[in-house]
């Protein structure tokens, strides 16, 4: 059975990706850290849409949990192979650097960058053995151009962009692609506190994006026909930054 693992899949962009991949026939592993109610809702929605999957709770920045939960799941399900990994888990905790606390830096960096490393390393051996796979990292406009008040978030996402390009070169010869999708302003709970009316005037498309539009980009990179695309960062930002 072909499977896709989506970290941070319980809501927002992660949920949209789970639902999109379910419609394409993938068995969806919905990862989440603590919001079980939202994760169960995501699972219910994808099953209502005719898909199938299960919840796989672990904290991506905790290497012991990644090993004990994800590693054990792979050992216990030899009939299910993770063909696609979507590293979506991420948090933001914005403030100016001069006021930023150690834990704000560490938590934001660790969730995105360390989480990418621990989860990808855990599934990579199977992809290398099969000589096929798709790794898709959800980064951000912040990681491309930097955003004031987001030194931690910008650094974390820029780190994942660099890792995406390096890993693509390491494993391209094994039939595995590694790409990133960089959303701009997307209507999710992470952008609820922003002034959309003012900000959208800066965007050529004159609006915020929808999670489903990011999910479409992920599905494109996950497709078998995208096998010759690797090491890229695909912007989904309405033309705000090119």
**CATH code at position 196:** 3.40.50.720
Backbone angles phi, psi at 241, to 5 degrees: -145, 130
Asked whether residue 104 is assigned to any structural domain, the reply reads yes
Domains held by the chain: number: 1
Give the closest residue to 178 by CA, choosing from 113, 115, 80, 87.
87
The number of beta carbons lying within 10 Å of the beta carbon of residue 77 is 15
Write down the pLDDT at residue 106.
97
Asked whether residue 191 is assigned to any structural domain, the reply reads yes
Identify the domain containing residue 185 by its residue range: 2-236
Annotated catalytic sites, by residue? 153
Give the closest residue to 55 by CA, choosing from 38, 43, 41.
43
For the segment 114-122, the average pLDDT, to the nearest whole number, is 98
Asked whether residue 241 is assigned to any structural domain, the reply reads no
Write down the pLDDT at residue 145.
94
For the segment 65-85, the average pLDDT, to the nearest whole number, is 96
- Choose between 195 and 146: higher pLDDT: 146
For the segment 12-24, the average pLDDT, to the nearest whole number, is 97
**With contact defined as beta carbons under 8 Å apart, do 107 and 93 qualify?**
yes
Tell me the pLDDT band of 11, cut-offs 50, 70 and 90.
Answer: very high
49 contact partners, CB below 8 Å, separation of at least 6: 19, 22, 23
Give the closest residue to 7 by CA, choosing from 57, 45, 73, 79.
57
Write down the pLDDT at residue 196.
75
**pLDDT of 46 strictly over 90:** yes
Tell me the pLDDT band of 126, cut-offs 50, 70 and 90.
Answer: very high
Distance CA 218, CA 18 (A): 10
**pLDDT of 190 strictly over 90:** no
Write down the pLDDT at residue 42.
97
Record the tokens describing residue 161, joined without a space.
Answer: 């962009």
For the segment 69-97, the average pLDDT, to the nearest whole number, is 96
- The counts of H helices and E strands in the chain are 10, 7
Asked whether residue 206 is assigned to any structural domain, the reply reads yes
**pLDDT of 138 strictly over 90:** yes
Asked whether residue 242 is assigned to any structural domain, the reply reads no
DSSP strands (E only) in 88-161: 133-138
Place of tokens 């980064």: 139
Tell me the pLDDT band of 69, cut-offs 50, 70 and 90.
Answer: very high
Q: Reduce the DSSP state of residue 1 to 3 states and report it.
A: coil
For the segment 167-186, the average pLDDT, to the nearest whole number, is 97
Give the closest residue to 85 by CA, choosing from 129, 31, 42, 45.
31
Write down the pLDDT at residue 211.
96
Residues in the chain: 242
pTM, two decimals, is 0.96
Record the tokens describing residue 132, joined without a space.
Answer: 């096929």
Give the closest residue to 181 by CA, choosing from 222, 235, 134.
235
């Amino acid at each position: 059975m072909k499977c896709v693992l989506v970290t941070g899949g319980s809501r927002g962009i992660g949920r949209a990706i789970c639902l999109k991949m379910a419609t394409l026939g993938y068995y969806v592993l919905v990862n989440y850290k603590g919001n079980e109610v939202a994760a169960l809702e995501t699972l219910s929605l994808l099953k209502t849409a005719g898909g199938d999957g299960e919840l796989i709770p672990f904290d991506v920045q905790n290497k012991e949990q990644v090993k004990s939960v994800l590693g054990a799941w792979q050992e216990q399900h030899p009939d299910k192979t993770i063909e696609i990994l979507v590293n979506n888990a991420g948090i933001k905790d914005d403030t100016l650097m001069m006021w930023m606390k150690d834990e704000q830096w560490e938590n934001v960096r660790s969730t995105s960058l360390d989480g990418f490393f621990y989860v990808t390393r855990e599934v990579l051996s199977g992809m290398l053995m099969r000589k096929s796979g798709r790794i898709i990292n959800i980064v951000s406009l912040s990681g491309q151009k930097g955003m004031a008040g987001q030194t931690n978030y910008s650094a974390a996402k820029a780190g994942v962009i660099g890792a995406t390009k390096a890993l693509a070169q390491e494993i391209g010869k094994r039939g595995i692609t590694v790409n990133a999708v960089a959303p701009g302003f997307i209507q999710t709970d992470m952008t609820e506190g922003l002034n959309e009316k003012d900000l959208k005037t800066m965007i050529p498309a004159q609006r915020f994006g929808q999670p489903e539009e990011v999910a479409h980009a992920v599905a494109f990179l996950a497709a078998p026909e995208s096998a010759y695309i690797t090491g890229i960062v695909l912007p989904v930002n309405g033309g705000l930054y090119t």
